[in-house]
Structure 1
Amino acid sequence: MKHAPLVDQLIHAFTCLPGVGPRSAQRMAYSLLDRGREEGRRLGNALHAAMDGVQHCQRCRNYAEEELCPVCSDARRDSTLVCIVATPADVLAFEQSGEYRGQYFVLMGELSPLDGIGPRELGLDVLEQRLKQGEINELILATGTTVEGEATAHYVLDLAQEAGITVSRIAQGVPMGGDLEFVDGATLAQALRGRRPFES
């Protein structure tokens, strides 16, 4: 069956989301068109506002609406302690644990040369400049335990050692090969408390 062009366009638009194939996209489109016109308009408005209004924090690369994100602009946070994470979802996981009071640096991924993701794509040149400024005393590595996560951790370790900065790694309460966004707050809090020096 052929859809009307606008329906087809809506279905195709949903397939850009992770884990959404053509059938799921079709169900979403039909649901909005059948019963959710007002919700669909709200969704469209929210998407438009976010695409135009959300940028990257100039300091940590997390999502922000201003030059600095809420964490970086909070004077009560310890700016000498920086946690390196792969995604904004990881920041949210740490914040929900209630344990961490430092700042973050969000890589927006992990090193993966086969996918064309190198140090520049992760903003590691920006991190290197921050390390040279001398404000940071300790980096906490909270990248994943995958091959890419470990490679990224070792790259950051080299940068930190050149700048004479202490590096620790969160303790292994976090499952091997797992993503931080799926780890509960209590486990993350324990992993933070049990962090250990990280060495090559």
Structure 2
Amino acid sequence: MSLISELMNALQILPGVGAKTAQRLTFHLLQKDKLGGKHLAETLLKSIELINECESCRTLTEHPMCKICANPNRDVSKVCVVETPADIIQIEQATDFKGKYFVLHGKLSPIDGIGPAELKMNKLVELLIDCDELIIATGSTVEGETTAQFLSHLAEKGGIKATRLAHGVPLGGDLEYIDNSTLAHAFASRTQL
């Protein structure tokens, strides 16, 4: 196999990068931006070697504790549970949430052998010591809903209020373009005005 083919195949491990995109990226890096490609390779290698999970919330960081967990001004009484580190970025950019986070790095899926131990729920229990509200921000998939139910029971056992992000019709969305399960969930979760 040629080095060019090897690079194209290597790029295809990235989500959303198929054969054509990998080919386009390969030729762009080799023909138009070798310096950028070298910087990308060095940064990628350095990141893989130095980035690990935060000791507290499990997000990705190059330090033992991420900036959010290290910030003494964050509200320890509110913990938001998310599936991925990317979810934290979304919440931080879109809201004024000033509490703490816990990253599951997945969701419960018994059929795939992913249970509470694989998601390190024991670390979450440690984080809940000073907590009075557990905000559940898992996806609305079957596994996400199962995970939300498990987290809700976990909070209930600890005497902690559990809340769930609302799901349903997006702001500015027309009902005719909403799929049936989203509309059914939104209808069942309606609130009083």
TM-score by length of 1: 0.80
Higher relative contact order (CA 8 A, sep 6+): 1
Query: What whole-Å deviation, never above 9, does each CA across 1:38-85 have from its counterpart, x for those lacking one?
Result: 110010011011101111001100011111100000001001110011
Question: Counterparts of 1:14-93 in structure 2 under 5 Å?
Answer: 14-93=11-90
Deviates more, 1:106-115 or 1:80-89: 106-115
SS at match of 1:104: strand
- Aligned with residue 141 of structure 1, among 108, 127, 136: 136
Measure the CA separation in 1 of the matches of 2:141 and 2:105: 15
Question: Counterparts of 1:77-156 in structure 2 under 5 Å?
Answer: 77-131=74-128, 134-156=129-151
Measure the CA separation in 2 of the matches of 1:89 and 1:102: 17
State the number of aligned residues: 171
State the one-letter code of the partner of 1:18. P
Deviates more, 1:5-14 or 1:166-175: 166-175
TM-fit CA distance, 1:21: 1.5
The equivalent of 1:186 in structure 2 is: none
Pairwise CA RMSD: 1.7
TM-fit CA distance, 1:9: 1.6
Call closer, same or farther: CA 1:138–1:174 in 2, change over 3 Å: farther
Query: What whole-Å deviation, never above 9, does each CA across 1:92-135 have from its counterpart, x for those lacking one?
Result: 0110024100010011111122333222222212212333xx21
Measure the CA separation in 2 of the matches of 1:7 and 1:174: 46
State the one-letter code of the partner of 1:84. V
The equivalent of 2:183 in structure 1 is: none
Measure the CA separation in 2 of the matches of 1:98 and 1:40: 35
SS at match of 2:105: coil
SS at match of 1:140: strand
Is 2:157 the partner of 1:162? yes
Query: What whole-Å deviation, never above 9, does each CA across 1:162-199 have from its counterpart, x for those lacking one?
Result: 11111111233675xxxxxxxxxxxxxxxxxxxx9xxx
Measure the CA separation in 2 of the matches of 1:10 and 1:145: 36
- Identical pairs, percent: 43
Determine if contact 2:108/2:115 at 8 Å carries over to the other structure: yes
SS at match of 2:69: coil
TM-score by length of 2: 0.83
In structure 1, stretches of 5+ residues that fail to align are: 176-195
